[in-house]
Chain A
Amino acid sequence: GAGVSQSPSNKVTEKGKDVELRCDPISGHTALYWYRQSLGQGLEFLIYFQGNSAPDKSGLPSDRFSAERTGGSVSTLTIQRTQQEDSAVYLCASSLAKGWGRTGELFFGEGSRLTVL
């Protein structure tokens, strides 16, 4: 597609339920990132995928969070046993290449707003 596509745009769930958030990056972009933005906070790095390399999972806040990227394209962020503090906007971004040749040119999707009741 023309841009990074995320779904659902809004998700309301009950505490304890599992949720899946999907990201479809720009075609040809090898790098994919997940960030989280809580109300009044900056963007918090969650996880980074680059090609076929092992992902950098160091930003995931707990073992309830996991992500996968199938076929080097679409990514799914899964949150198990959701808690109220998981409520946030989850932003996905993609980039053409690793390294600083294209520094800063992360293309963001419009995010998935998660509300945990």
Chain B
Amino acid sequence: EDKVVQSPLSLVVHEGDTVTLNCSYEVTNFRSLLWYKQEKKAPTFLFMLTSSGIEKKSGRLSSILDKKELFSILNITATQTGDSAVYLCAAADRGSTLGRLYFGRGTQLTVWP
């Protein structure tokens, strides 16, 4: 049973579009939610969210967490072809080591020029 569910599984947009990626989680003793970008092979860290309602931003990317409804969204505005990647969401519980993150299956984003 998946603890982290991402949607959509894939998304195709044109440059300049804005996209919203969804992540819902069900983790006992929730601690944090993390977003990673995976291009080709190695995932790279984007955001960590611990508190509800506080938006984190990095350039055109932003993310927010809702601990009441158990979900997070990742927004990308003015998409570029370089945003094409798999976006992974991961949840950590308080009992886990730093490494034991429960990952979703990812959203494959394709941005056409």
A residues bordering B, Cβ < 8 Å? 3-4, 31, 33, 35, 40-45, 48, 50, 56, 59, 89, 91, 93, 95, 98-100, 102-106, 108-111
Contact = CB atoms under 8 A, between A and B. Distances in A.
B98 A100 contact: yes
A44 B112 CA distance: 30
A104 B97 contact: no
B42 A108 contact: yes
B88 A31 contact: no
B4 A106 contact: no
A40 B2 CA distance: 13
B44 to A, nearest CB: 7
Nearest to A94: B99
B42 A45 contact: no
Given A43-B103, A110-B40, A98 B45 contact: no
Which has the most chain A C-beta neighbours within 10 Å: B2, B31, B42?
B42
Contacts of B40: 110
Interface string B75-113: 000000000000010101000011111111110000000
Interface of B: 2, 4, 31-32, 34, 40-45, 47-48, 88, 90, 92, 97-106
Given A104-B32, A108-B43, A98 B97 contact: yes
Contacts of A40: 105
A36 to B, nearest CB: 11
A56 B100 contact: yes
A110 B42 contact: yes
A95 B43 contact: no
A98 to B, nearest CB: 6
Which has the most chain A C-beta neighbours within 10 Å: B47, B97, B104?
B97
Nearest to B9: A40
A83 to B, nearest CB: 22
8 contacts: A31-B98, A42-B103, A42-B104, A43-B88, A43-B90, A48-B97, A95-B99, A109-B42
Nearest to A96: B98
